[in-house]
C-alpha cells in the first residue's frame, strides 16, 4: 500500500515586505530584505512541508522570491488573501492541487458572540481568513490559514492610551476578536 504522508506547516513571516517600501512605519533596506528572504528560504528547506500557511505577507512578490530561492515550490500553487498596503495578508503554498479557495471577512452567524442575549458589534475579521480546498492524494481537504489577533489592546484613536479603563476595554476587544477566530474554526 503506498504511503500517503505529507507535511503541513504554518510560518509567521514577521512582516515579509519588499525593500524600500514602508510598512508599519518601517522600511527594509535591500540588504535586510535579502537576509530575510534567504533566511525564509532556508527555513522552508528545513521544514520540507508540502503545504505551508503563511502569516504577515505584505507583498506577494517577496513571498514568491523566498519560495523560488527555496527551490521546493517550483510548480506549487500560491494563494494569497487580499490585503491593503498597510495591512499584511495570509497566504498558502501547496504542492498538491488547489481546487478552490475563499477569503472569509465576515463572521459566520454561528460564530457571533452575545453577552446575555446582546450581540456584540464585532462582525468582521480584522485580518481575513483564507479557506483553501486541496486535493491531497485523492481526498478533498480544507485548510484554513489565519493570523490570530495579538493580545495588544484594540484602542480607538480618540482615547487616552494610558487610561487604565480604556486599556481594559481594549484588552476585552482584543480577547473577543481572538475568540471569534477560534469559533470560526470550530464552526467549519
Q: Minimal CA–CA distance to 141: which of 27, 33, 50?
A: 50
Residue 25: what pLDDT? 83
Residue 68 inside a domain? The answer is: yes
Rounded to 10 degrees, the C-alpha dihedral 68/58/150/181 comes to -80
Residue pLDDT, tens place only, 67-89:
999 999 999 999 999 766 568 99
Residue 1 inside a domain? The answer is: no
Residue pLDDT, tens place only, 27-39:
999 999 999 999 9
Q: Is 178 left (phi over 0), alpha (psi -120 to 50) or beta?
A: alpha
User: What pTM did the predictor assign?
Assistant: 0.78
- Domain containing 139 equals 8-187
Residue 53 inside a domain? The answer is: yes
Residue pLDDT, tens place only, 129-184:
999 999 999 999 999 999 876 667 777 788 888 887 777 777 777 776 666 555 55
How far apart are the C-alpha atoms of 165 and 45, rounded to whole Å? 47
How far apart are the C-alpha atoms of 140 and 134, rounded to whole Å? 6
Residue 172 inside a domain? The answer is: yes
Residue 3 inside a domain? The answer is: no
How many structural domains are present in the chain?
1
Amino acid at each position: 500500500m503506498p504511503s500517503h504522508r505529507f507535511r503541513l506547516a504554518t510560518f509567521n513571516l514577521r512582516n515579509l515586505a519588499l525593500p524600500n517600501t514602508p510598512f508599519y512605519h518601517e522600511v527594509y533596506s535591500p540588504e535586510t530584505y535579502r537576509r530575510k528572504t534567504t533566511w525564509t528560504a532556508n527555513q522552508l528547506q528545513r521544514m520540507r512541508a508540502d503545504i505551508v500557511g503563511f502569516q504577515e505577507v505584505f507583498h506577494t512578490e517577496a513571498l514568491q522570491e523566498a519560495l523560488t530561492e527555496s527551490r521546493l515550490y517550483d510548480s506549487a500553487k500560491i494563494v494569497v488573501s487580499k490585503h491593503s498596503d498597510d495591512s499584511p495578508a495570509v497566504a498558502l503554498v501547496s504542492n498538491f492541487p488547489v481546487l478552490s479557495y475563499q477569503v472569509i471577512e465576515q463572521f459566520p452567524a454561528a460564530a457571533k458572540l452575545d453577552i446575555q442575549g446582546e450581540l456584540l458589534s464585532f462582525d468582521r475579521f480584522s485580518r481575513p481568513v483564507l479557506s483553501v480546498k486541496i486535493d491531497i492524494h485523492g481526498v478533498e481537504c480544507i485548510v484554513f490559514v489565519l493570523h490570530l489577533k495579538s493580545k495588544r489592546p484594540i484602542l480607538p484613536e480618540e482615547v487616552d492610551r494610558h487610561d487604565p479603563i480604556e486599556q481594559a476595554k481594549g484588552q476585552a476587544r482584543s480577547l473577543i476578536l481572538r475568540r471569534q477566530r477560534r469559533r470560526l474554526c470550530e464552526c467549519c
